[in-house]
Chain A
Amino acid sequence: DTGVSQNPRHKITKRGQNVTFRCDPISEHNRLYWYRQTLGQGPEFLTYFQNEAQLEKSRLLSDRFSAERPKGSFSTLEIQRTEQGDSAMYLCASSFPIGQAYSYEQYFGPGTRLTVT
């Protein structure tokens, strides 16, 4: 399967714990995006990378959130000191860079569902 993969698919954690999610994009894609989705809402943009450079961060990405893409391939999203409000689906997507063919299309992974108790 050459699609976007995310691990784990589900994570249950206690408030105050740290969690880390991983995203493996489609190998030819240079851009990688993180979104958060709560029940009944559309995905909300968090941040994106062009290769290993993090080019934009949403105001939603508080200091407790950090994302990395160290070698321009897979990415991790870490949430420190989790709060109940962090409970959501965390989606990763990848695409070709702007200006390249098909750059308008983002390919999404299945998401990681986080539950903070």
Chain B
Amino acid sequence: DAKTTQPNSMESNEEEPVHLPCNHSTISGTDYIHWYRQLPSQGPEYVIHGLTSNVNNRMASLAIAEDRKSSTLILHRATLRDAAVYYCILRNYGQNFVFGPGTRLSVLP
């Protein structure tokens, strides 16, 4: 399984943008980059995913480096509800998700 590297923890102030980095230097050409997050006492939830191009949805944006060896999840205006563990996962078509320890995001009021 391809591996990802994320910082253990990050802090942000409320209503400011947050950039969560993920390194995946061994990514293959058919690996999709997925982001999930896990709020306290809940199961993970889907945030966004992409292959090569940057992606936007109502929750976040995903910026993918040109060489695809890294990506950044962008929360445009952090709220207290965004405090969670964020997982960056590489997944090839049909494979199962392999979660790492993720990045614990704290949002300060």
Please report the number of residue pairs spanning A and B whose Cβ atoms sit closer than 8 angstroms: 49
User: Contact: B96 with A33, CB < 8 Å?
Assistant: yes
Number of interface residues of B (CB under 8 A): 21
User: Contact: A104 with B87, CB < 8 Å?
Assistant: no
Residue from B46, B94, B100, B101 whose CB has the most chain A CB atoms within 10 Å: B46
User: Contact: A45 with B43, CB < 8 Å?
Assistant: no
**Roughly how many angstroms separate A43 CA and B44 CA in the complex, as a whole number?**
9
Q: Which residues of B contact A110 (CB under 8 A)?
A: 41-43
Selected A-B contacts with CB under 8 Å, 30 pairs: A4-B43, A33-B96, A40-B101, A41-B99, A41-B101, A42-B87, A42-B99, A42-B102, A43-B44, A43-B97, A44-B99, A45-B96, A45-B97, A48-B96, A56-B96, A93-B43, A93-B44, A98-B94, A104-B34, A104-B49, A106-B44, A106-B46, A106-B97, A108-B42, A108-B43, A108-B44, A109-B43, A110-B41, A110-B42, A111-B42
- B-to-A contact residues, CB < 8 Å: 32, 34, 41-46, 49, 85, 87, 91, 93-94, 96-102
